[in-house]
Structure 1
Amino acid sequence: MYRSDLGRGTTTAIKVSGRLRVQTTYEVSGVEMVEEWSSPTSLLSRRWREASALGKDGEWEWEIGVRPPARVEAGGEIKASDVNPQFIGRDSEDKFVWHVTRCPWPEDNYSVSYDGERDEFVLRTGNRKYYKRWRVPTLVRMGLGGEGLEVRVRWMGDGEDLVVIEVEKNEGVKEEERRRRKEREKAAEGMEGGGGDCKQS
């Protein structure tokens, strides 16, 4: 969700199948965010949706994790190719992480740069088989750019065919995430009795 005007939100936390599910609703902007955590520092997924002008819920946008596959009705519908690379957002305490699957080309084929004019990172392959531009929603929400951030690209071959892109988080991002971690912990207090919630500023 590429917005910096989310406003004040209310967060609720519950345990679902051994995971902590954190749901935040931003009253003024009409945006909803849902995260799932396997531990206080291990984020499994983060998704967003925004109500339409008529008040209907919009489609979920996945920032972290993988969108579940859509059901295929009898008679079939067009499905995305399962041989093309797939770009997946991940996360860690110190880095923004993305995985690009189905990339069989060797490591020296990949390069990542930052386009300051468009505020986007760019992944290119030397053989021109794959090209991807993307923004980092967390940086957008905090009003920050990606200039000067350390970027690392690794290729996991030997049958995995996985490219791992890591961008170092600056201290401002880490501090904000520590603050939000405390809010999650507060929201989770007493959830054994049916859930906890807290206000966000």
Structure 2
Amino acid sequence: MASLWLEKLKKAQKTCLIQDGRRKIHYTFDDGNELSEEYNEKNNDLIVRKWCKKGTLGGTSGWEFEVGEELKPRSLDSEGLMESNTNPIFVRKDTAQNFQWRIRNLPYPLDNYIVNISDDNKNIIIKTKNKKYYKKFSIPDMERAGLYLQQNQTQLAHANNTLIVSYKKPEEILKLEKLVHEEIKKMKASRDGDVDCNPS
């Protein structure tokens, strides 16, 4: 399964741009779906991964973040309903060795949180003993590689009203990421200010 994902990336139409210390890669797949990734140019850490998928009627769904978040400036002039800035904010920010999620605005102490793997070993479930928060989510990277989750690979930490959930990347994922980085290095990259960006 991991090799299938790598082949899909290789076959996609790709462009690469280096801008603001980030290597930005845009993939367009045969099915019309688009993938945009941004890596730290110095250490290759993944900062952003987002998808724009075609709908059943041919339109697009807009960009959906898998890693990172959209940084929208708050407008004082905006009308209508606005999401409260005290609601929990769920963001994935990986490290070299771990998949990692940060859930901001969770003030409860660490011993209030319970993290389990779902019965089908495909999802992580976070809940609180005081029943104030519940979240069920998958790791798309693991799904693409055909790998199941294991309970003993999860870790929890809590600081500054933020719950940090980590899942150790298995060896198969680390190998796949290394191969992807090798493919990225082969791409011709335009730098910010260049006129065109050669697709591969």
Cα offset, 1:118, TM superposition: 6.6
Identity of aligned residues (%): 24
- TM-score normalised to structure 2 length: 0.84
- Is the 2:86–2:105 contact (alpha carbons within 8 Å) kept by the matching residues of 1? yes
| Aligned residue type for 1:20 | R
Quick check: 1:149–1:169 contact (8 Å CA) kept in 2? no
Q: 2:190 — aligned with what?
A: 191
Matches within 5 A, 1:105-124: 105-117=108-120, 119-124=122-127
Paired with 1:197 and 1:183, the residues of 2 have a C-alpha distance of 14
Which of 20, 31, 34 is 2:33 aligned to? Answer: 31
RMSD between aligned alpha carbons?
Answer: 2.4
- Tell me if the contact between 2:121 and 2:148 (Cα under 8 Å) persists in the aligned partners: no
Matched, 1:143 2:146: yes
Structure-to-structure mapping, 1:162-177, within 5 angstroms: 162-177=162-177
Question: Normalised by the size of structure 1, how large is the TM-score?
Answer: 0.84
Residue 37 of structure 1: CA displacement? 1.6
CA offset at residue 149 of structure 1?
Answer: 5.2
Return the alpha-carbon distance in structure 1 between the equivalents of residues 52 and 69 of structure 2.
15
Displacement of 1:15: 1.4
Q: Residues 82-116 of structure 1: CA distance to partner in whole angstroms, max 9, x if unpaired?
A: 11111101111211000000111111111211003
Contact 1:32 1:49 in 2 (8 A): yes
Contact 2:17-2:189 at 8 Å conserved across structures: no
Superposed displacement of residue 69, structure 1: 3.0
Gaps of 5+ in 1: none
Shift of 1:49: 1.1
Query: 1:14-163 maps to which residues of 2 (within 5 A)?
Result: 14-27=17-30, 29-39=31-41, 40-69=43-72, 76-117=79-120, 119-147=122-150, 150-156=153-159, 160-163=160-163
- Deviation of 1:51 after TM superposition, in Å, equals 1.6
1:10 aligned residue (10, 13, 36): 13
Structure 2: which 5+ runs fail to align?
none
Report the residue type matching 1:191 in the other structure.
Answer: S
Q: Which has the higher helix share?
A: 2
